[in-house]
Structure 1
């Protein structure tokens, strides 16, 4: 891998929608002040293009590295990140994703980029804080896990990561599944994991701001039956058009297992040269087959604390339900 990947020009892809202006200003300034300064920052405004453009120009006072792109159609969080990645120029060596309301430490890019010489993606840790600065957790405690464990429970947060630009040929377009599990971070991380690897660095590289407006935040791994059933019914109404038993069944099938299967089949179609790396993943998502391997994988993933018990149970339930429906 050419050294230009770790030291040359790259693109920061930032998705913006109705930002908190104070947090947005601080995030823009933290990107501007990176010790690695050879980059362009593409800001995709999912609505409010003129307002966001004016704010960026006022905040950064003519820094030409920052460019706002906007469109008439609102796509939402998932589609907006896909859209900004579609505009990454061919001469970029690397790509970094950015949320609109975090705070990057000055050496974030300088810390992560050297790892791209060996890996397709590098990601760090973050301190989790409220919008007023109260520390909720000193670290996100992401872990390096095998691709099969990553498939079951995501360890990659896009806003903490950088990846090689050539990975976009596999990443785009994003796969589609009408389910809350549809997650660009997970998809990008898995694409990297089966290529040259996704590596988690222990360094704290930014503050990760949690507040009421977060689309995705730090996962809550606690299980409360009543709350889980309410969430399931709400997801049925939103994604499957109702809360009847058939709709809830489809939600449960897709929550972990369906999304995992969707990603693996997309990778198989797009990257046939990765067949050896994909074979263990294909066995995990094959409906009605390899049950001994599935159970062994789930056990090892939970025992190693790479995957939470609720996640493993949800995946297993989806696999069983899918197999029963296919009979």
Structure 2
């Protein structure tokens, strides 16, 4: 009996046609050929559906789903992942505007088995829409608590074992700071681990329509510092909202799973600044597992206390910047 194919879930919303064509063609050209790609259009868009069918032609591996409602990137990936057959060999996430190198799937699928983990990811060239390289990512493995506080997982660079969905679905409540790949990375790390290779296997395209961009760390630090110090309205955005998201993840994880770091999860799950939480954040920063700016922002958020998650505008595409 042959092994079940893997599944790629690709979220599409008002794409740039040239970039979408390039991405679909790069998926079709993967050296690993046994997969199904669910292309989910977030909201009725007949022109985009027609374009996708024109690009994929008669390739039976692609399945196009045009959803009636526009729910935004977080809920879109949640419902696409809910369509995945639990017998699938693996699951990959895809954005609509990147470019996969030919060996990407083959190498990441191999890493899942070789390192006996539930998730794996790669590095990427960060490029302009014209393909000019700006820099390269430097993703690093982090233990569960460090990853919960500071995300190193980019969904479009990653693949997962299907058992991750038994823990991840349904997603925690949606909010302004909720990020699907952060949650999936946390779930994978809590189960059997998440492996990050040094191999560059993708082009991560930056353009004006990005949902979550790839900011250089120095730029992210300047933006966060300026906003927090000089714009009161964004104190919520950079401290309270991200803190509330991490509390939500910790609480959801504790209700579904019992990882070895459960004591630390309880500290975050309390949702408020305590001496124990302060020491935890300080130790994470001193050990350089998380940036000091992130420890400071989480401390401010915890000091303000857990707030009911702010719901984004219906169908919006928002999220934290990845520094």
Interval of TM-score (by shorter of Structure 1 and Structure 2): 0.7 to 0.9
Structure 1 residues 285 and 316: CA distance shift in structure 2, 3 A: farther
> Could you say which residue in structure 2 is the equivalent of 1:128?
126
Choose the corresponding residue for 2:284, options 292, 296, 301: 301
Task: Within 5 Å, give how 1:203-218 maps onto structure 2.
Answer: 203-218=199-214
Report the equivalent of 2:256: 270
Q: Deviation digits for residues 135-193 of structure 1, max 9, x if unmatched?
A: 110x21001111111011100000000000111111111111432x2100110000011
Structure 1 match to 2:108: 112
Gaps of 5+ in 1: 236-247
Question: What is aligned with 1:154?
Answer: 151
Structure 1 residues 13 and 323, CA, compared in 2 at 3 Å: closer, same or farther?
closer
**Shift in CA distance, 212/231, structure 1 to aligned 2, threshold 3 Å:** farther
Question: Which residue matches 1:320?
Answer: 303
Q: 2:242 aligns with which of 236, 251, 256?
A: 256
Q: Is the 8 A contact 2:104 2:201 kept in 1?
A: yes
Indicate if the aligned counterparts of 1:255 and 1:315 stay in contact, CA closer than 8 A. no
**TM-score w.r.t. structure 2 length?**
0.86
Q: Partners of 1:39 and 1:288 in 2: how far apart?
A: 44
Map 1:1-327 to 2 at 5 A. Answer: 9-117=5-113, 118-137=116-135, 139-179=136-176, 181-219=177-215, 220-224=219-223, 225-228=225-228, 233=233, 254-271=240-257, 274-288=258-272, 291-292=275-276, 294-322=277-305
Alpha-carbon contact 2:8-2:91 (below 8 Å) kept: yes
CA displacement at 1:51 relative to structure 2? 2.3
Kindly provide the CA deviation profile for residues 245-292 of structure 1, in whole angstroms up to 9, marking residues without a partner as x: xxx66x566323211110011111122xx2434332222343457524
TM-score under structure 1 length normalisation: 0.85
| Residues 112-149 of structure 1 deviation map (CA, whole Å, 9 limit, x = unaligned) | 11222200100111110011111110x21001111111
RMSD: 2.3
Residue 49 of structure 1 and its aligned partner are, at CA, apart by 4.2
- Stretch deviating more after TM superposition (27-36 or 311-320): 311-320
Larger RCO, structures 1/2 (Cα 8 Å, 6+ apart) = 2
* 44-53 vs 113-122, which moves further: 44-53
> Which is worse superposed, 41-50 or 197-206?
41-50
Q: Give the count of matched residue pairs.
A: 300
Deviates more, 1:50-59 or 1:201-210: 50-59
